[in-house]
Structure 1
């Protein structure tokens, strides 16, 4: 089969999602109001609450939620065959991710920009807030600690990506100032992307590395420290100064990257070397059900997206009607990246024959972002004639910039949660932005170096929990949205059915991994897995109680009225 068939099927499905399904959800379910005063206008402080053009906000939201996950997850999941991965990415984008991300943004917008954890108190009850925020904080801790490792390893393995990754920050700072002065957005975007791609070419010819030992630490460990110092500073700057322009430029460069990859598929029309369903799955490999649905998270549905949508994006929404463009189209962008990842790691650009493909995918989890970079770079070279080394730098920089943007937003979101805890438990010092940021970074570094030693890779120890924890969080977010819709008297099946499916698959996956952790004697993971399962179960029981209470009150009100 030719890879162009996969592309056409996927693009057609996502086009239906954007042009038809998202419009139905916006008008009939969420019922967006163009006259609603958004939190960005109500609480405009020039720092966190800033009304933002929807294209710029889409760039922030998209690149913050993307990270490396829509590349790594599908690249690993193709182990079971390209057909299951493709089906979950396309259907997940249309009916799960788009509704989830869009809904979290809308719900937060309707509750003064509160995070999904904080607004669960308004929708479900007081006890749910504390429980919910435990899971949210754990997910953010894992994302920040691990993405620091991902970026550090990328800098060491692909030194050509170092210069463009840091140059992007300087470009963003300049563009942020110019956009703030109301200069033409389109022109600035074109110039910014052009400069960024020039730095990628320069980086491939000018690789940069750290000394093999500095301060008694390896280059990876030093990069992790540098990255968290940067993330702490970036998270405290006003969003218009660095976060928005950096994310906007990253979003635009992704559009260019996707155009290169999709264009190469059309120009070359390479065959698929991977099987539709892999019949050579090893005995030690996990079962496709339920593990497929937590391996491919970003690109299908992801709880982390709800944290970003309700944490930073909702505070920058200019008009409520922009929520569809930012939330649903952001999910479509992620799905598009996941789709081309499947093509890149399934085609002859990566492996010329089925046997060569099986040699790469001989065990579960072995292939990931590296397979995407290798296969994608060869595909771009075949289609556009761009040298493979330059193409590798382009794709590696894409991964690094996405992961770095996620770290920026992740640390900022951790600050918000810590500040919310300061309000809940009446600890004034925690409400201070600098103090909260230092606590957030300290937690990440404690995990990185406390659990991982001098390598700084401690986040990898609890990373096996991320898939199920992240998807449980997605189910909990859909639960909050469903309860909110029920109280508003609107149809809930469009959020409730996806919630039931996601919760069922992620709970099953968490139980499977719990058994494996127990057998391996990984007691920290056993304890954390049990905490996540218990906490999410309690939130769902609280939600069920809130629904019963609401129905009793509604029935009593109707009885009194009659």
Structure 2
């Protein structure tokens, strides 16, 4: 199979999905209205609620949801062959992820910018809300703790990415000041920001930063993890316009340029996909493709974390409700393109099948490293960019997206802590709640791993919990649509499929964790499974009640007459 064919088919499917299916969803299902007063205007505070240009907000939303997961998931899942991963990413992006992200954004905007955890109390019930918050907290804990490990590993293994990684913060601060304080036009800011970022990549490639093996009694990995959490904590309490928005926007442009370089190299060199379409020579210990494929590739097909971003930060910055189609659905398309690029890089970036099998010698043996290696090889062959610089570009891209996800993840987890405290009758500020988040995450990172790698301990549950949360988010959207008498089938089909695969995966993992004697993961799996089943029952009852009740819009129409 020629990789150009995969690239053209995949890109065509996603662009067609945005051009046609997202328009159907916006007009017939969610019925977006340009005159609707969004929370960004209604509750404008200059910190979290800030009306934002849709292109800037798309950059924030896209880079916050992207992270390392749409690289890691597909780069692991191709062990079953490129065809299942390709089908799940392309079909999932068009009919699952775009609809989910747009729906979560719409649901939050229609409810004063409230998060999915808060909305679950209104649409599923108090018991469902409490259990929903437990699942959300655990998912965000996994994201923050594990992504810190992913970033630190890349900074150690690819020291040429250190300068562009931290220099990007200064670029983002300058971009934020230019846009909001000095009112410099967006095209000018965009060009200058991207040029500065790529100049840092060139400098980083020439000046790698290698830390000593021990710093203040910490290993180099542990030191980076500590610094990352301190940074994320500070970033999470700053006004979104100061760092979060401009950082994500510039990173979004950088990613599309990086993807353009990767896809351009594919078109020029047309490498052959050496991996099999369906791998029948699986390494020992590889789990069954069903249901594990559908939770291994979460981001890039459908992801519950996207619902947290849509309802946690993006909904508070949406200028017009109609912008939700571009921000939400096209944000999912951007992530789908990244996941497709990861599939191509990890299946066509090796010279022979034997080389590929040497990397994929065990389940979870792929990942970011395989993406950087394979993608760097394709870029070098297609565009003549040196292998070292190619690897620096891709590693920086992966680090920056994982870091922006951490920024948003810590801010979202702070919101969850504040919501949980309010339910208990306690009001705490953003400073205290941020400290709570950092203490819990660092406690996991260093308590379950002396080198700070403890965040990876609970990673095996990330994909399952993430997909479960996507299904639960869709249940809230479904209840809203049923109450309004809107078409609900586009939501129900993905909802049933994702929940079925997630619960199936949780049950399978119980056996795996028990056989391995991993009691921590076994206990967490059981807690998540019980909470999930309970919320599913509550959601089913809420949907049944909504179906029986008169449609809100029909009642409002009759009242007007």
What TM-score range do you get, normalising by the shorter chain? over 0.9
Give 1:160-171 correspondences, 5 Å limit: 160-171=160-171
CA distance in 2, matches of 1:367, 1:142: 20
CA distance in 2, matches of 1:263, 1:150: 27
Question: Does 2:465 correspond to 1:466?
Answer: no
Match of 2:364 in 1: 365
SS in 1 for 2:12: helix
Give the drift of 1:292: 0.4
Match of 1:433 in 2: 430
Match of 1:123 in 2: 123
Unaligned runs of 5+ in 1: none
Question: Does 2:507 correspond to 1:511?
Answer: yes
CA distance in 1, matches of 2:550, 2:43: 33
4+ runs deviating over 6 angstroms? none
Match of 2:441 in 1: 444
SS in 1 for 2:300: coil
Give the drift of 1:50: 0.3
CA distance in 1, matches of 2:234, 2:201: 25
User: Contact 2:54–2:323 (CA<8 Å) still a contact in 1?
Assistant: yes
CA distance in 2, matches of 1:282, 1:208: 36
Match of 2:304 in 1: 303
CA distance in 1, matches of 2:15, 2:62: 17
Match of 2:529 in 1: 533
Match of 2:15 in 1: 15
Q: Deviations over 1:147-177 (max 9, x none)?
A: 1111111111111101000000000001101
Match of 1:271 in 2: 272
Question: Does 2:240 correspond to 1:227?
Answer: no
SS in 2 for 1:377: helix
Give the drift of 1:541: 1.2
**More displaced stretch, 273-282 vs 252-261:** 273-282
CA distance in 1, matches of 2:223, 2:358: 34
Q: Deviations over 1:236-283 (max 9, x none)?
A: 100000000000000000010011011111111111111111110134
Give the drift of 1:418: 1.0
SS in 2 for 1:78: helix
Give the drift of 1:129: 1.2
CA distance in 1, matches of 2:355, 2:419: 52
SS in 2 for 1:420: helix
Match of 1:30 in 2: 30
Give 1:218-367 correspondences, 5 Å limit: 218-347=219-348, 350-367=349-366
Give the drift of 1:548: 3.3
CA distance in 2, matches of 1:227, 1:280: 40
TM-score, length of structure 2 as denominator length: 0.97
User: Contact 2:482–2:547 (CA<8 Å) still a contact in 1?
Assistant: no
CA distance in 1, matches of 2:430, 2:347: 46
SS in 1 for 2:276: coil
1:545 aligned to which of 525, 541, 545: 541
Q: Deviations over 1:163-210 (max 9, x none)?
A: 000000000001101100321111111110111011011101101122
Give the drift of 1:355: 2.2
User: Contact 2:284–2:362 (CA<8 Å) still a contact in 1?
Assistant: no
Give the drift of 1:353: 1.5
Q: Deviations over 1:10-32 (max 9, x none)?
A: 01111111000000000000000
Give the drift of 1:536: 1.3
Shift in alpha-carbon separation, 1:213–1:484, aligned structure 2, 3 A:
same
Shift in alpha-carbon separation, 1:143–1:501, aligned structure 2, 3 A:
same
Give the drift of 1:552: 4.8
Give the drift of 1:84: 0.5
Question: Does 2:426 correspond to 1:420?
Answer: no
Give the drift of 1:385: 1.4
**More displaced stretch, 241-250 vs 266-275:** 266-275
CA distance in 2, matches of 1:361, 1:553: 53
Unaligned runs of 5+ in 2: none
Give the drift of 1:284: 1.7
Give the drift of 1:553: 4.4
CA distance in 1, matches of 2:449, 2:353: 38
1:501 aligned to which of 497, 503, 512: 497
TM-score, length of structure 1 as denominator length: 0.97
Give 1:30-179 correspondences, 5 Å limit: 30-179=30-179
Match of 2:382 in 1: 383
Give the drift of 1:483: 1.0
Give the drift of 1:359: 2.1
Give the drift of 1:311: 0.4
Give the drift of 1:364: 1.4
CA distance in 2, matches of 1:34, 1:124: 28
Give the drift of 1:549: 3.2
Q: Deviations over 1:433-472 (max 9, x none)?
A: 100110011110011111112x011111111111111111
SS in 2 for 1:452: coil
CA distance in 1, matches of 2:173, 2:45: 19
CA distance in 2, matches of 1:84, 1:523: 32
CA distance in 2, matches of 1:61, 1:481: 19
